[in-house]
Structure 1
């Protein structure tokens, strides 16, 4: 549907023309929906086919004089130029809107990229700090492990020294007890020899105690003073 008055040069599809009232009779005072121009004449609004057939092209201007044909063609070209200009303006408007939208999106993109880069740098710094802390903790663990091994070694030495001192003390106690037993046995010998004919005779218990005493006496043992000195050396 075309509006072809001198003030209104617009084109609408048929459904829109029906809904906007362009197909009504002229007496109902039609107006152009685009520019609000009055369309009182019957030919101010016409219906046309944008893809005409060959027969229509042959007959539409047939019978008209050249002046009228040229005038019709000129007005048609003027309408086409106006529509083309309007289309260019509309596309420029769309292009301007899209350009502004692109500029806004590009600015937001730059902000997001800068924010992401800043966050990445911060995370990289945190990772470097954590790596340094991990290395320090690993070094400390190795030092503590070495100290623990030294402590275990010293504990083993102290345990062995304790067992040695304990053994020496037990030997001393056994030697003292055996010496006392031998002394008591020897003291009781005069009474036993007086009661028996044939001379004094050492009881078997006294003989066993004497042998045990001799065995203990013959055992070589390090002096207590040396053991204590060794213990102090281990501790230091």
Structure 2
């Protein structure tokens, strides 16, 4: 809070207080002013020490509790009867007090401004470092994203190749399945044509399979024996495995 010549408000010089003075204030010989609360607390001890500059205030009039808004009667009588040079001297010292307060306030504002500028520079430096680290992180993330995109494109390409292979295999499978079905139907039709409809196995075997023929016994036939007599030859008999033909001679009376 800047203090100008047209501003008639003083600020408490107690560290970390800096409230506007109103009502009563404590004024010291070292040109410092304090609020009624901090002045009553600090100047009640003996010896009194100025909280602003640590000066010893041992004189009787080194500390004065004054009213900042005196009445009209007080202002009319406080300097009454004094010679003009005394009045001017008192006024000069009072104005010097105000000049010191203004200078002190200006120095405090400059100090606060310099500290704020240092803090701003530090914050800017930290912000720049954070921005650089963020840029590095973003660059790394962009590189990772680009690599992931390449990997994704590679997977897409492999997926498209696998999908094309799968479609080709499906087409081949459908083609082979159609050929298999046509061949199976053709075999069924050919089997039905070769099998007689009146054969009893035709009803038992609808799939067209023909039963194997049953073995037949060879018919007997006549042949001339060694003596010129006729004899009958029969077919193969299972009871005598060592003889191929069995000769049966006719009975003689």
**TM interval, short-chain normalised:** 0.5 to 0.7
Query: Residue 2 of structure 1 aligns with which residue?
Result: 27
Q: 1:21 to 1:163 in 2, by over 3 A?
A: same
Residue number in structure 2 paired with 1:155: 173
1:118-172 per-residue CA deviation (whole Å, 9 max, x = no partner) reads 2223323333333333233222222211111111121222233344555666778
Match of 2:59 in 1: 41
Partner of 2:108 in structure 1?
90
Is 1:15 aligned with 2:37? yes
**How many angstroms does 1:34 deviate by?**
3.0
- 1:56 aligns with 74
TM-score, reference length from structure 2: 0.58
Gaps of 5+ in 2: 1-25, 197-209, 217-253
Higher relative contact order (CA 8 A, sep 6+): 1
How far apart are the structure 1 equivalents of 2:70 and 2:149? 79
Matched, 1:30 2:55: no
Q: Which residue of 2 aligns with 1:140?
A: 158
Q: Give the length in aligned residue pairs.
A: 177
User: TM (normalized to structure 1)?
Assistant: 0.62
**Which structure carries more helix by proportion?**
1
Matched with 2:237 is none
Match of 1:223 in 2: none
- The corresponding residue for 1:127 is 145
Secondary structure in 2 aligned to 1:51?
coil
Deviations 1:175-230 (A, max 9, x none): 8888xx8xx7xx9xxxxxxxxxxxxxxxxxxxxxxxxxxxxxxxxxxxxxxxxxxx
Map of 1:218 onto structure 2:
none
Match of 1:108 in 2: 126
Query: Could you tell which deviates more after superposition, 166-175 or 39-48?
Result: 166-175
Name the CA distance, whole Å, in 1 between partners of 2:133 and 2:48. Answer: 59
Equivalent residue of 2:81, what SS?
coil
Tell me, in whole angstroms, the C-alpha distance in 2 between the residues paired with 1:131 and 1:11: 72
Structure 1 residues 129 and 44, CA gap change in structure 2 (3 angstroms): same
Larger radius of gyration: 2
Give the structure with the higher percent strand: 2
Which runs of 5 or more structure 1 residues have no equivalent in the other structure? 188-236
